[in-house]
Amino acid sequence: MEKQRPPLGVMGGMPIVGHFSKNWENVKRFQAEEGDLVIDTYPKSGTTWISQIVDLILHHGDLKKPHSKTIFERVPFLEFAVPDMPTGTELLNARKSPGLIKSHLPVHLLPNTFWEKNCKVIYVARNPKDVLVSYYHFYHMAVVHPEPGTFEEFLQKFIEGKVSYGLWADHVKGWWKMRHQRDVLYLFYEDMLEDPKREIRKVMKFLGKDLSDDIMEKIHQCTTFKAMKEDYLVNYSTIPTSVMDNTISPFMRKGTCGDWKNYFTVAQNEIFDDYYKREMSDTDLTFRF
Ligand code: PPS
């Protein structure tokens, strides 16, 4: 039995889940195919949500085909590696055709093969206060992470980039810059909540798909928070509890904007606002809280 909650490891200089760091050589060696589409996010920013939307769009809203497998089989997670489960690179190398790939890698660590093959990327960003709260709960339930400590301690680690995938600000800013240089669609979680159909339409356009309003409506209905929370193929309830324990905190937790207000004290909010101002002073990228 491998130890639960191993300390974070390092991947390309960035802290990452200890188990994942052991698969870095395979990630670096991975060869993309033309037509692969990367879904990239900083953790807890809406990866599963956008993955389900994209997969449904590509299957013209047909529930049967995409719904025969779990989201982590349909959209393999590039750098995923835990004991007793196939790694992301193993799943991807066994595929017969190009498809969807999930990654949380910051832009400078995404292997060059994706750019060489002109792969499209959909990036989703979320305001960092809600990311932090979601991540704090995720650290508790995804037991491949170290113990998160108190909320105060976790907040400090997040600000210092001492959590898996490192600094949030560098991640969102790095991909923001890349959106004009490559085929990158940059979306926001808060926009998806505000007007899901508008955002689904953006994705359809980016993918060159012109689907009917009926199909569009179906995709929307299948990707509401309620629908996804109840769907065992996307809610991570089937993943071994040695990786994620949904009884500690459900993966589909709240799915809202502004939950941070239930966690931050006034003092913590001031510290975080200072951090945010400092880190975001050199960019025109803004967030809604
Ligand atoms: S992971 O582990 O990084 O891949 O997690 P990720 O999927 O990026 O983010 C999980 C958060 O997204 C919320 N979620 C949704 N919100 C609204 N609508 C839908 N359909 C939806 N699906 C997932 C999920 O609840 C997590 O956020 P929190 O704030 O913890 O609820």
How many angstroms does the Cα of residue 120 sit away from the middle of ligand 1?
A: 22
pLDDT at 186: 98
The pair of structure tokens assigned to 214 is: 């009926």
CA distance 35 to 98: 6
Is residue 89 pLDDT above 60, yes or no?
yes
pLDDT at 4: 79
Ligand 1 atom closest to 137 (CA): 30
CA distance 59 to 283: 37
Q: What is the pLDDT of residues 231-284, one digit of tens each?
A: 999 999 999 999 999 999 999 999 999 999 999 999 999 999 999 999 999 999
Contact 72, 227 (CB under 8 A): no
Taking the C-alpha atoms of 42, 44, 45 and 46 in order, what is their torsion angle to the nearest 10 degrees? 130
How many angstroms does the Cα of residue 41 sit away from the middle of ligand 1?
A: 11
When pLDDT is averaged across residues 61-78 and rounded to a whole number, the result is 85
Q: Do the bridges between strand 14-16 and strand 37-41 make them parallel or antiparallel, or are there none, so unpaired?
A: unpaired
How many angstroms does the Cα of residue 94 sit away from the middle of ligand 1?
A: 28
How many angstroms does the Cα of residue 255 sit away from the middle of ligand 1?
A: 6
The pair of structure tokens assigned to 240 is: 């071994």
CB-count exposure of residue 87 (10 Å: 0-12, 13-18, 19+): buried
* Cβ of 47 below 6 Å from ligand 1: yes
Domain coordinates of the chain in residue numbers?
9-279
Is residue 52 pLDDT above 60, yes or no?
yes
CATH code linked to domain 9-279: 3.40.50.300
* Cβ of 235 below 6 Å from ligand 1: no
Nearest protein CA to atom 11 of ligand 1, as residue: 44
How many helices, marked H, and strands, marked E, lie in the chain?
14, 6
> Mean pLDDT score of the chain, rounded to an integer?
96
What is the torsional sign of CA 72, 257, 259, 157?
Answer: positive
CA distance 71 to 100: 10
| Residue carrying the six token digits 């955002």 | 199
pLDDT at 235: 97
Contact 85, 236 (CB under 8 A): no
Of 19, 60, 67, 104, catalytic = 104
The pair of structure tokens assigned to 134 is: 């979601």
Q: What is the pLDDT of residues 150-166, one digit of tens each?
A: 999 999 999 999 999 99
CA distance 239 to 230: 15
* Cβ of 165 below 6 Å from ligand 1: no
Is residue 65 pLDDT above 90, yes or no?
no
